Structure 1
């Protein structure tokens, strides 16, 4: 690996640290979101012991861990890439001795580490103190979940990079970026667990990468998916990580042949 890549992680981490007050307020906002969903699901469940395979306790934990996981894997690489394409600064990246796509991945990982340490972890502590979240006691579940969370970041980042690269072809892909974010939040299971979708739509989701971002890892964390099935979640993530590399490299190869600068 180019020695510059780890340095990019450090630089992005320090850059995010300069604006840490924004993320402290973000912890409060996420806690409010989790609280709203907690009371909503409490009302939906009522006296029903389980719905769509979830108990009330599992749903509480699922909501908390899903939103806090989003704090880690979320990034703005799609908009960053689109802006660099529009103003032409991406052209400079072509002559530098490193991979532009790898640079973006490292920058996103630096941001993710910041969010993990100063957003997700303290946020989860606060949420656990306020709401009846049930954490797994098996260290193996924690270890596996951390691996799954890392691949959640990779898959989400791949989708962001792919969306950002389309700015080469549509000139202004702001609408596409917004649509992508809605689709990821909805179809990854952050807003509503996929098991609550209509049967036909749940089947469709199994053929899309979104479930590998939130729904499947959170199902492992809450204990809904155990044993060999839990390792099967990792296999699904590995498959999607490899599959998404194909369109990214294809779009990147086509994009480099049609670069033009819209700004000056």
Structure 2
């Protein structure tokens, strides 16, 4: 059975490879986004050396690695699940001899692997040539960050799966998917690092899973959070990974007992 799931990773990777030109253009778009935020933050810093614990060099590195990491963990599992529920093809998927949600996760990982190799790595290299990005030289930092990035993918995918499964209970969850995307980008720290939020809001966000997707791993990578606290970050990511399994299992159980297909 595991080999079958691995095949789903391979097939999604090959499917993405057929449309790789779209992702090459995406590198340019991400570089433009990073550039826009770089000049914005440079103007905000002015003559100041640090803001909210970030130096300007750390902020530049944070912007680059956060946006490029987004290329890896981002996926459209919520939209894929919602579309299959609406067109009724999920009924066929549910009677096949594999777990539907695990298949979706494997497909998302195949897409993420493609993005990592052909989007994130070359994109980061290009950005480093354009902007003063200060990458760490310690291989332990890189290995730690890559491990955290896998958790980022899993947590983001769980949130997407939960959002997609809502299509079982509402006729159209398009608005919910859009709201989720904005919340992930904003509250995960891609747009604004969580350290810059007001104290009361950052306290609330510390109880949400979004920080475990981008902010905490990127803070370790840039040195804003010392490596001695990496274990705590892993524990937070692991905790959210387990916590998010609960609503997924509850919703999946309810969905299997109540399947409503629109249009036959």
Match for residue 182 of structure 1?
Answer: 182
Match for residue 261 of structure 1?
Answer: 261
Match for residue 94 of structure 2?
Answer: 94
C-alpha separation in 1, matches of 2:213 and 2:230: 14
Match for residue 132 of structure 2?
Answer: 132
Contact 1:185 1:191 in 2 (8 A): yes
SS in 1 for 2:47: coil
SS in 1 for 2:244: helix
C-alpha separation in 2, matches of 1:260 and 1:170: 9
* Residue 226 of structure 1: how far off its partner (Å): 1.6
1:67 matched to 2:70? The reply is no
Match for residue 210 of structure 1?
Answer: 210
C-alpha separation in 2, matches of 1:113 and 1:45: 35
C-alpha separation in 2, matches of 1:148 and 1:3: 25
C-alpha separation in 2, matches of 1:221 and 1:123: 17
* Residue 228 of structure 1: how far off its partner (Å): 2.7
Match for residue 116 of structure 2?
Answer: 116
Contact 1:49 1:55 in 2 (8 A): yes
Contact 2:141 2:227 in 1 (8 A): no
Gaps of 5+ in 2: none
Alignment RMSD: 0.7
* Residue 93 of structure 1: how far off its partner (Å): 1.2
C-alpha separation in 1, matches of 2:33 and 2:199: 27
Matches within 5 A, 1:7-22: 7-22=7-22
C-alpha separation in 1, matches of 2:98 and 2:32: 42
TM-score, normalised to structure 1's length? Answer: 0.99
Match for residue 167 of structure 2?
Answer: 167
TM-score, normalised to structure 2's length? Answer: 0.99
1:229 matched to 2:229? The reply is yes
Contact 2:220 2:227 in 1 (8 A): no
Contact 1:2 1:98 in 2 (8 A): no
* Residue 212 of structure 1: how far off its partner (Å): 0.2
Contact 1:85 1:261 in 2 (8 A): yes
Match for residue 56 of structure 1?
Answer: 56
Gaps of 5+ in 1: none
1:5 matched to 2:8? The reply is no
Match for residue 27 of structure 1?
Answer: 27
Task: State the Cα deviation string for residues 19-60 of structure 1 (Å, max 9, x = none).
Answer: 000000000000000000000000000001100110000000
C-alpha separation in 1, matches of 2:3 and 2:42: 50
